[in-house]
Amino acid sequence: MGREALYERIDARVDAMLAAGVLDEVRRAHAAGASTNARKALGFDELLAGDVEAMKRRTRNYARRQLTWMRKLAGAHVIDVTGRPPGDAASEIAARWSAS
């Protein structure tokens, strides 16, 4: 998956989380005294500040770091499952597993 497509999916996922009530969940966690570790979750502080774009940006940056890390792993294969039926993706994983 290309970076632009990934970023679009991240943005759509954040929007879906907002529609599902993540902001209220974060506010309740904050009011209940969320731990320091919980506050480190992607988007927690950004949502409390009302900065959805910062949450999206921070999530995109995290995804970019994950991709960089994955590229450095010897023998790692990134399998794009976008729009693929689960059985198709599973077959590719099994084929790669048996080939190694």
Joined tokens for residue 65 = 């770091």
**Mean pLDDT computed over every residue of the chain:** 91
Quote the CA–CA distance of 97 and 92 in Å, as a whole number: 8
Joined tokens for residue 34 = 């969320």
Q: Give every CB contact of residue 10 below 8 A, 6+ residues apart in sequence.
A: 56, 59, 60, 63
Residue 14, pLDDT score: 96
Output the CATH code of domain 3-73: 1.10.287.890
Instruction: Delimit the domains of the chain by residue range.
Output: 3-73
Quote the CA–CA distance of 87 and 19 in Å, as a whole number: 30
66-88 pLDDT tens trace? 988 988 888 888 888 888 999 99
Provide Rg for the chain, Cα atoms: 17
Alpha-helical segments (H) within 44-85? 44-48, 52-72
